[in-house]
Chains A and B, each alone.
Chain A
Amino acid sequence: MSVDLSMPVLVVDDYKTMIRIIRNLLKQLGFTDVDDAADGTEALGKMRQKRYGLVISDWNMEPMTGYELLKEVRTDDSLARTPFIMVTAESKTENVIAAKKAGVNNYIVKPFNAATLKSKIDAVFGE
């Protein structure tokens, strides 16, 4: 399965700078439809309004963390199959294991580069 560059992507992070960085990287990779949200609650609201082909989310946000967002997405029948990549500074083993158990498709530790983002997106879509 190849990556559909026209699919809508949702970037979730409470730091505007990080959203801008990821948005620019995605643009360089060829993605044309990129939305953003500042936390899990806002992201969930947007996901219920629009079908996203990929969610890229930070972990540590308030009021809803990326971890809680992931669990909400996976328990919602209409959203459960949405590919979900965690991009976060949380780099303890327990975080990775918890995310894996919650159904994350891939996990990127910050700081990261464009090549890593590309390879992890490709891995999610089987490239």
Chain B
Amino acid sequence: MTSRKHAAVRKAADGIRKKDDISLVDVLTLAEASIRSMKSFIDSLDSSIYREFRDIAEYIQKTKKEIGHLQANDLRSRHIPEAGHELSEVVTATENATTQIMECAEAILEADASDPEAYKALVNDKVMVIFEACSFQDLTGQRIGKVVETLEHIETRVSRFASAIGAKDEPGTATKEETKRKKRKKELLLNGPSKTGEGVSQDDVDALLNN
């Protein structure tokens, strides 16, 4: 309230206090003076609230747009299941190839070497099967490549989204099952195979055991 408007309110209030009978007109005069004095404040309040809501609406629009760019439904219904399928195929292919190779190796080991010609023929035959089985690496390599591509696709989408909305990680989002698995991994030291170049070598292990 400006001091002039404040004075107007005080004058109206003082006028009413002096009277023995306060009329409706007096009350209305006081109310009018009060509202007039607060009008500029209320006007400014409306504008600032309007601006806030407008900013919030714009942010919501932007976030909705970024969510759309994330293409979460496409990731969930197509890319991720396809990647899972490719990995299953890799497991199957490597298992089949390993079985084939091992069967050949076992056959060679168990073969009767007393007849050199027959033995040589068997070994040649089994070695060719081993070479053929090794072709799994080409196919599994391609499948893994597709999975890597999917992961990169997801990473790009998620990074862009997180950056656009200024996302911050919130704790406590793990499910009960995830928490349980994490606890088990930690307690039982289930680290899994190390990356190439990391992890201890056999010589390191021997040194640790002999220490």
Interface residues of A (CB under 8 A from B): 17, 20-21, 24, 27-28, 59-60, 65, 67-68, 89-98, 100, 104, 106-110, 112, 116
Chain B residue with Cβ nearest A93? B200
Whether the pair B189, A94 counts as a contact (CB closer than 8 A) is yes
Interface residues of B (CB under 8 A from A): 95, 98-99, 102, 105-106, 109, 188-194, 199-202, 204-205, 208-209
Whether the pair B191, A17 counts as a contact (CB closer than 8 A) is no
Chain A residue with Cβ nearest B200? A91
Whole-angstrom distance between the alpha carbons of A73 and B193 in the complex?
25
Interface centre among A28, A90, A107 (most CB of B within 10 A): A90
CB neighbours of A98 from chain B (8 A): 189
A21 and B192 contact, Cβ closer than 8 Å, known pairs A100-B208, A112-B202:
no
Whether the pair A91, B189 counts as a contact (CB closer than 8 A) is no
Whether the pair B193, A17 counts as a contact (CB closer than 8 A) is no
Whether the pair A109, B205 counts as a contact (CB closer than 8 A) is yes
18 A-B pairs, CB-CB below 8 angstroms? A17-B95, A17-B98, A17-B99, A59-B189, A67-B189, A90-B192, A91-B193, A92-B191, A93-B208, A94-B189, A95-B191, A96-B209, A98-B189, A100-B208, A107-B209, A109-B201, A109-B202, A112-B202
Whether the pair A92, B208 counts as a contact (CB closer than 8 A) is no
CB neighbours of B208 from chain A (8 A): 93, 96-97, 100
Distance to closest chain B CB from A20 (angstroms): 6
A24 and B106 contact, Cβ closer than 8 Å, known pairs A92-B194, A92-B199, A100-B208:
yes
Secondary structure type dominating chain B contacts: helix
**How many contacting A-B pairs (Cβ < 8 A)?**
70
Chain A residue with Cβ nearest B94? A17
CB neighbours of B188 from chain A (8 A): 65, 67-68
A110 and B193 contact, Cβ closer than 8 Å, known pairs A68-B188, A100-B208, A100-B209:
yes
Distance to closest chain A CB from B110 (angstroms): 10
Chain B residue with Cβ nearest A96? B208
Whether the pair B102, A24 counts as a contact (CB closer than 8 A) is yes
CB neighbours of A89 from chain B (8 A): 192-194
Distance to closest chain B CB from A99 (angstroms): 9
CB neighbours of B189 from chain A (8 A): 59, 67, 90, 92, 94-95, 98
Distance to closest chain A CB from B31 (angstroms): 78
CB neighbours of B190 from chain A (8 A): 59-60, 65, 90
CB neighbours of B109 from chain A (8 A): 24, 27-28
Whole-angstrom distance between the alpha carbons of A105 and B200 in the complex?
18
CB neighbours of A116 from chain B (8 A): 202
Distance to closest chain B CB from A116 (angstroms): 6
Which of these, B98, B102, B200, contacts A109 with CB under 8 Å?
B200
CB neighbours of A17 from chain B (8 A): 95, 98-99, 102
Interface centre among B98, B204, B205 (most CB of A within 10 A): B205
